[in-house]
A and B are shown apart, each in its own frame.
Chain A
Amino acid sequence: MTRYNHVTDDVVKKLVSICGEQYVTTSEPLRHSYMARGIMGLEAVLPEVIVRPADVEEVSQILVIANEHLIPVTPAAGGLSGGFALPAIEPGGIYMDMTRMNRLTVDTENRVMIVEPGVKSGDAWRIFKVKYPEWAPPIPDGAPPAATILGDAIERGFSLVTGVYGPQADMIMGLEVVLPTGDIFRTGSWALDGAKPFYRWGLGPNPDGLFLGSQGSMGIITKAAIKIVPHPHHKTVVAYGGQNWDDIIKPAWEISKHELGVAENTVMVQGGNWPLVMTRWPKSNVPTDYEFYKKLGISEYWMNYEIWAWSDEELEYVKKKIDETYKWYEEEAGTKCPQWKLHPKQVASRLKKPNKIAIPYSLWQAGFLFITWYTPWLESPAMMEEYCAKMEEYGFPPTMWVASIDHARQAIVMPILCFDSTEPGIYDKIREFNTETTRSFLKKGWLNYRPDPFVHAPETFSRAPNFYRMLVKFRKVLDPNLILHPGRLAIPWEAVTDMPSPLQGDGE
């Protein structure tokens, strides 16, 4: 088991000499102010020192110091993934708040922007609105405006055009990475001195994947070149209901699978069930019976299609085609999928990016957790069925959201676990729920893509020992002292779980 050292006064002095007094603090209240337990991660440990580097050189120097002293480092961009962007195990070590690095440059000719970790979605949106109205930055679709574009890409998140372009990580054209040893390099064509980030596979084998999805435990990304997308201004949202999960998933597959034409226009395909509406309000101050929602015209299940087009005629054509598909499906499946008549205000609110739509799930009780999974698109109804049943069994409302990735190749399935964070024992209960569902889903081949270090990561890797072995090898090459974000990927294994390590017998 790796032993980490605490941050000493000497280390703090060295950090101050790198970043300046103003940007280093050990203040107890300021350290607590970064905490969060919820959204994506429930477990979080208090950092010992916060640093706010200004540029890549400072990041590199901090990592050298951390290595020298064997101190763990956790990078954070917007910090909107809650506990997920905080140290997972003791000691908390150095927390790198990267919000000062917030430069953005845009190259419309090559359709790419370069962002530093601190570029927030809301800021990028404003800059594009004012300066590049014909282009859109692929910001996370439903995340609040303080989420960063880079943080979302690192998590391979869900952007406003993921329905067409794939997960956020697919938008990456090149990275600037600082390895835990302090070495700095770039990937893709960008690796060549003076070259633009125009070709992601670049000079040889591309290591991007090691840094996207490892949540900062392989290296720290200081810049990313990310595709920007055309931004037509003829937009709308249409929604269709259904009697069950199949009724929303199957027609969406019919619409998306051709990939061209109408499928290209439907940049965003997302839906859910009626508790998604209910649990945005306090449990004690909102009707909890479906009948009320039915009267409001809310279907038990529904799918939204956000359509972007170059003209109103094109918009109308896409709407007509979607409607025809639904009519065909209703007949084929012998079901009813009524179109939901959206009020113009509802359409406007759904088109708003970034937005605050997902924040109020805390009102239901006092706290919530998004648990995010990827499944093959047509398997998602089975997953949602099982998830909702388990949520109810555990006493959580069955709030479920689903969206298409890359023309309904994959589904992102996301239960929103609304809970009372002041209830004693609640975190144990959630862990138990997570463990039970994770075990069942992994057997079916479904993947958690923002893994909880204590449940999803060890459960997943113990079923993929060869992959884990490879991961550990890479990690040890890149980060010999395992100082980055320890625990996040269950490396070292014993730091997060009592389960038998997949490396047993490897001389570990």
Chain B
Amino acid sequence: MTSLEDLRRINARCIHCRACQYAYSGEPDRQGETEEYTGMLQGCPAGIYYGWEGYYNSGKQWIARAWLNGEIEPSQELLKVVEACTTCGMCETQCPNYINTVEVTEALRAAVIEAGVEPLPRHKIIGDRVHDEELRNPYNEPRNQRTAWYDGEVDRKDAKVAYFVGCTGSYRQQDIAKHTASILKKLGIDFTVMTQEVCCGSPILRTGQRDKFREVMEENLELFKDFDLLVFSCAGCYKTFRNDYPRFSGKPLPFKVRHTVELVYDLIKEGKLEIKKEYPKKVTWHDPCHSIRHVGLAIEKEILAQSDNWLIDSRKAEKAKEEHFEIPRVVLRAIPGLDLHEMYRIKGDSFCCGAGGGVKTQFPDMALAAAKERLREAASTGAEVLMTSCPFCVTNFTDGVKALREEQEATGEKKPGADLEVVELLQVLDELIE
């Protein structure tokens, strides 16, 4: 089920009820800590920024329907509307008709491009770079430097576990790659990294450039096929492997996949890991859409796909999804001294950082607006640290904090969120695990 045509009957379930515009659309009585954060709240970064119905998922579902019915022409204008969405999946959480909202949006983008419309300029650049055999990454960095950050032995044939580093870890946030490798070592995991690893394809899949995506997917699947387990530090790569590769390859993955935070969680649950060092800070946690919401939703839908009685099994499926949402919380609670203060919009109803789905590169203003909104929410908890585990969230929040500080300086007015310290959980875990 990858083409928009495949999704026709799912899209046809949309009654345009607009519930998907709100976080907690099903919990109008939800009690928050403050007047502002109570009940249902607007939750779509694109809709909030642009205001028009077409930027909300509810509107996009009907644009997709118009496309399927041949009522709308392929155009840049169309692509611009449907690409301005972080594919965060907040909308998907809300839909009582279980519409795969993000799959529809991504398939619509692909359909428009496949009908001959050029990808949007910034998206085309990253697509071309990933397509380039000398690069195979969106950052225009030489392919042969991909593992330059790593001082261990690469390409080991005898290891059963591989760490899929991803382009951001390899070229931009190498400290995260180093922290992850260090965590894996401390946990006693015998792993390797692969020099021939290529971009997972996430940014080009999200932006509708599917031919190029298939190329890198095939290369990665071939390269890693003999491993038992792939470990990730990037939420986007993890989601792409876990949820998208099986869909697009038509086959189950030949290896298991786990995000490093999940590995830590597994060991804590099994009683094999105890964190003794303290992290004495007031922390709030931001759920990365890819590794938390999207994986949770996939777990729920995988259970339903096997069920011939949704009335009964939907509860079980929802429970499994909720258990997935607990993973980072279990890890955070296992850190001594860490004082967790949750934001209002969390888990399936979390508000996106604003960077995903190709938005940060093509629509930077929208990305920044979303980051600022989330930082304000984070600040409302009284936390000093905003913790998460995703390279894009970290980058976008860091940009958001910087912008708020500049605004603060320019206006002399206090901007909630400007004082937050943005921290990657993997870094903290590396510092704490002995």
Contact A362 to B38, CB < 8 A, known contacts A28-B77, A97-B53, A356-B26? no
Contact residue among A122, A354, A359 (Cβ-Cβ distance under 8 Å from B15)? A359
Hey, which chain B residues are within 8 Å of A278, CB to CB? Answer: 311
B137 to chain A, nearest CB (A): 32
Report Cα–Cα, A265/B15, bound state, in Å. Answer: 34
Hey, which chain A residues are within 8 Å of B52, CB to CB? Answer: 25, 30, 33, 50
B250 contacts the other chain (Cβ, under 8 Å)? no
Hey, which chain B residues are within 8 Å of A146, CB to CB? Answer: 17-19, 21-22, 25
- Minimal Cβ-Cβ distance residue in B for A349: B26
Hey, which chain B residues are within 8 Å of A281, CB to CB? Answer: 310-311, 314
Hey, which chain B residues are within 8 Å of A28, CB to CB? Answer: 72-73, 75, 77-78
Contact A285 to B65, CB < 8 A, known contacts A30-B81, A360-B97? no
Are the CB atoms of A29 and B77 closer together than 8 Å?
A: yes
Contact residue among A32, A126, A287 (Cβ-Cβ distance under 8 Å from B66)? A32
> For residues 234 through 276 of chain B, which have their beta carbon under 8 Å from a beta carbon of chain A?
none
Segment with Cβ contacts to B, from A77-85, A199-207, A318-326: A77-85
A381 contacts the other chain (Cβ, under 8 Å)? no
Hey, which chain A residues are within 8 Å of B304, CB to CB? Answer: 285
- Minimal Cβ-Cβ distance residue in B for A81: B16
Report Cα–Cα, A50/B71, bound state, in Å. Answer: 18
A39 contacts the other chain (Cβ, under 8 Å)? yes
Contact residue among A35, A50, A356 (Cβ-Cβ distance under 8 Å from B19)? A356
- Minimal Cβ-Cβ distance residue in B for A367: B12
* Chief secondary structure at chain B's binding surface: loop
Are the CB atoms of B16 and A36 closer together than 8 Å?
A: yes
B35 contacts the other chain (Cβ, under 8 Å)? yes
A20 to chain B, nearest CB (A): 12
B165 contacts the other chain (Cβ, under 8 Å)? no
Are the CB atoms of B78 and A39 closer together than 8 Å?
A: no
Contact with B along A104-127 (1 / 0, CB 8 A): 000000000000000000110110
- Minimal Cβ-Cβ distance residue in B for A348: B29
A101 to chain B, nearest CB (A): 13
Report Cα–Cα, A368/B63, bound state, in Å. Answer: 19
Contact residue among A25, A29, A421 (Cβ-Cβ distance under 8 Å from B63)? A29
B123 contacts the other chain (Cβ, under 8 Å)? no
Q: Which residues of A contact B (CB under 8 A)?
A: 22, 25, 27-30, 32-36, 38-39, 46, 50, 52, 78-80, 82, 97, 100, 122-123, 125-126, 129-131, 144-146, 277-278, 280-282, 284-287, 352-356, 359-360, 362-363, 366-368, 420-422
Query: 7 more A-B contacts (CB under 8 A) besides A125-B39, A282-B310?
Result: A35-B66, A78-B18, A123-B40, A352-B28, A366-B12, A367-B13, A421-B12
Listed from nearest, the 5 A-B pairs whose CB atoms lie closest are: A33-B59, A126-B39, A33-B54, A146-B18, A366-B12
15 A-B pairs, CB-CB below 8 angstroms? A28-B72, A33-B59, A34-B53, A36-B15, A36-B16, A80-B18, A129-B39, A130-B35, A144-B19, A146-B18, A281-B314, A284-B308, A286-B311, A352-B28, A363-B13
